[in-house]
Amino acid sequence: MEVPYGYTGKILRVNLSDKTISVEEPEDMFYRKYWGGRGLIAYYLLNELPKGADPLGPENILIFAAGPLTGAPVAGSGRNSVGAKSPLTGGYGDAEAGGYFGAELKRAGFDAIIIKGASEKPVYLWVHDGEAEIRDAAHLWGKTTAEAEEIIKNELGDKLVRVSQCGPAGENLVRFSCVVNDLTHFAGRTGMGAVMGSKKLRAVAVRGKGSVALSDAGKVRELARWMVENVPRLAFGLQDTGTAGGTVNLSTAGGLPTRNFREGSFEGAEKISGQAMKETILVDRETCFACPIRCKRVVKAEQPFKIDPRYGGPEYETVAALGSSLGVDSLLHVAKGNEMCAAFGLDTISTGVTIAFAVECFSEGVLGPEDVGGLDLRFGNPDAALTLIEMIAKRQGIGDLLAEGTKRAAEKIGGRAPELAMHVRGQEIPMHEPRLKYALGIGYALSPTGADHCHNIHDTLYEKRENRAMQELYGLGVLDPLPSDDLSPEKIHMFWTVTNLRTFYNVAVMCQFVPWSVIQLEELARAVTGWNVTAAEMLLAGERANTLARIFNLREGLKSEEEALPKRFFQPFSSGPLKGRAARPEDWAKAKLQAYRMAGWDERGVPSRECLGRLGIGWAAEMLPSSSK
């Protein structure tokens, strides 16, 4: 069978229960329909995971998936997706990580790895040059991620082996534990680390001598050169101060989550910003496969505690989640918290939001001193936050409860606790404020993974014609900029266009921070695959993947009423730049229903047969709730 350009044509299957390994070779059109990333993951979960399976049981399926652009020698191609049924939300779960693992997986001869069953004893998977073997990992269990990676590389005798692992938090089934690539890159959301831990799979190590076959290598080189030459013009800010460079601007605009989203501006924003990092503890900038931007931070300190540069440094989400969200203005403590989360394998967003929830519960008297082991839980106490990170990772004391995530913890605490839990369907809210960006809040509610900021619209980018992001939408049929507090049908159309485009990055699989234009992305997809890819096909590929993930959620029992924001986000700020501003619940509910209809879903959010036919996935109708077939 002829292998399509951009792919290896092989998917590795591993069953950890019976230790069997096999290889699947999909047809060309299968790849074109589902591409990679979320498209592949949602397809296999729908077709092979039993309805109602326990996310932390052996029936769950863990999938590492690249895409056709992964591993191509061009900026942004160093990513891979990790997916499974989420132990955090009970629905569809996936997350992406950068670094080198995804590209190395392709070089090793596989487009994806599908892992079923569970081992009785700790193991790791060794994938190299078209082969795979399951190895003992008893000596890795309980080790930090840096310790485990060093042991694996020494054991395999190759420092260029790329390692993806779950960390001690995953071993302990912390529901928001993550998957760690190369120590500094994280598939952070939806609890994929816990799924790895439940399977006793500590790590996947990959190494290969192959390369990605390109349909038009000359065009790929031309695009790669263009990005290298234009990074100073288009992405200098990312290179200079990283994603945390916008921290102060967000605070000034009123959109920096502060003290568990009670406020939108933080008086200590400058102290924890990307600029402050650059001037104090930044010692290097790292990158991902083939990327000239070098947005990854590397920080180091010796006092008042040592911060290990092997774990990189905090990005924006971490700066806000472990900083402003906790009322903490100590950059050293934020950086130490980042290091601890990386060493244990914790999602920094969920970790910070969960700790902020606990702090507010304590400050409001919902939790007492006896509940928190005598900890001084108050906003602005950085030492207590570091203590809680370790307690969560090790499930010690109050950390055992918080390791369940805000939703489950709040339900167990009872009383007013659910009002203080900032999540959507169990996944903690990221560090972007829906009282600043109204359609973003719709995206939080409708995201197949629970609240997420990556496959979502950020309204403030589309308020002015001169904004580059707005200009990129012209070729996709969205011509008019709109205010960030707009929830009109025109804004909902913009929301879906941006969401489907961002999801295309997930299925391709590519980094959204690299400033490719839509036309360049289309050219790159053509040059790699040889397919006559158009922008219309890119949007359909994103929509198809999102729809399959939604159908998975519906099959698992998702109800429309669960697609809601915490009540806090409909309560206007009492001070700051956004004083008095919040969407009215009735306007927001109307916009959600408009989003349903525009997507081709009924009033319950169930896709119609016509919608599935338009996307070429009519087979998935059998997975829908019985009354909608």
What is the pLDDT, as a whole number, of residue 625?
A: 83
pLDDT band for 319, please (50, 70, 90 cuts): very high
Structural domains of the chain, with CATH: 11-207 (3.60.9.10), 242-428 (1.10.569.10), 438-628 (1.10.599.10)
Does residue 629 have a pLDDT over 70? no
Burial 490-505 (b: 16+ CB within 10 A, else e): ebbbbbbbbbbbbbbb
What is the pLDDT, as a whole number, of residue 355?
A: 98
Mean pLDDT of 161-185: 98
If DSSP codes are grouped into helix, strand and coil, which group holds residue 417?
Answer: helix
Nearest C-alpha neighbor of 77 from the set 61, 65, 66: 66
For the chain, give the longest Cα–Cα distance: 66
Residue 205: how many other CB atoms lie within 10 Å: 24
| Distance between first and last Cα of the chain | 36
Query: CA of 495: how far to CAs of 209, 234, 255, 490, 579, in Å?
Result: 41, 24, 19, 9, 25
What is the pLDDT, as a whole number, of residue 1?
A: 66
Helices (H) and strands (E) in the chain, counts: 23, 16
Mean pLDDT of 504-511: 97
Strands annotated E in 87-200: 92-97, 112-116, 123-128, 131-136, 162-165, 179-181, 185-187
Q: Over the stretch 7-51, which tens digit does the pLDDT of each residue have? A: 999 999 999 999 999 999 999 999 999 999 999 999 999 999 999
State how far the Cα of 491 lies from the Cα of 443, in Å rounded to an integer: 12
Does residue 627 have a pLDDT over 60? no
What is the pLDDT, as a whole number, of residue 580?
A: 95
Does residue 626 have a pLDDT over 90? no
State how far the Cα of 335 lies from the Cα of 389, in Å rounded to an integer: 13
Does residue 326 have a pLDDT over 90? yes
For residue 35, is it left (φ>0), alpha (ψ between -120 and 50) or beta? left
Q: In what order do the strands lie in the sheet with 123-128?
A: 131-136, 123-128, 201-207, 162-165, 179-181, 185-187
Three-state secondary structure readout of 217-236: HHHHHHHHHHHHHHHHHHCH
What is the pLDDT, as a whole number, of residue 248?
A: 98
Does residue 530 have a pLDDT over 70? yes
Query: CA of 162: how far to CAs of 102, 170, 334, 409, in Å?
Result: 9, 19, 27, 35
Backbone torsions φ then ψ of 613, nearest 5 degrees: -65, -40
Q: Over the stretch 75-103, which tens digit does the pLDDT of each residue have? A: 999 999 999 999 999 999 999 999 999 99
Mean pLDDT of 483-510: 98
Q: Over the stretch 198-248, which tens digit does the pLDDT of each residue have? A: 999 999 999 999 999 999 999 999 999 999 999 999 999 999 999 999 999
For residue 537, the surrounding DSSP H or E stretch is: helix 535-555
Query: Residue type at 554?
Result: L
State how far the Cα of 312 lies from the Cα of 294, in Å rounded to an integer: 12
Percent of the chain with pLDDT over 70: 99
Does residue 628 have a pLDDT over 80? no
State how far the Cα of 145 lies from the Cα of 170, in Å rounded to an integer: 11
Cis preceding linkage at 334, omega within 30:
no
pLDDT band for 2, please (50, 70, 90 cuts): confident
pLDDT band for 3, please (50, 70, 90 cuts): confident
Q: Over the stretch 426-452, which tens digit does the pLDDT of each residue have? A: 999 999 999 999 999 999 999 999 999
The mean pLDDT of the chain is 97
- Beta bridge mates, 424: 427
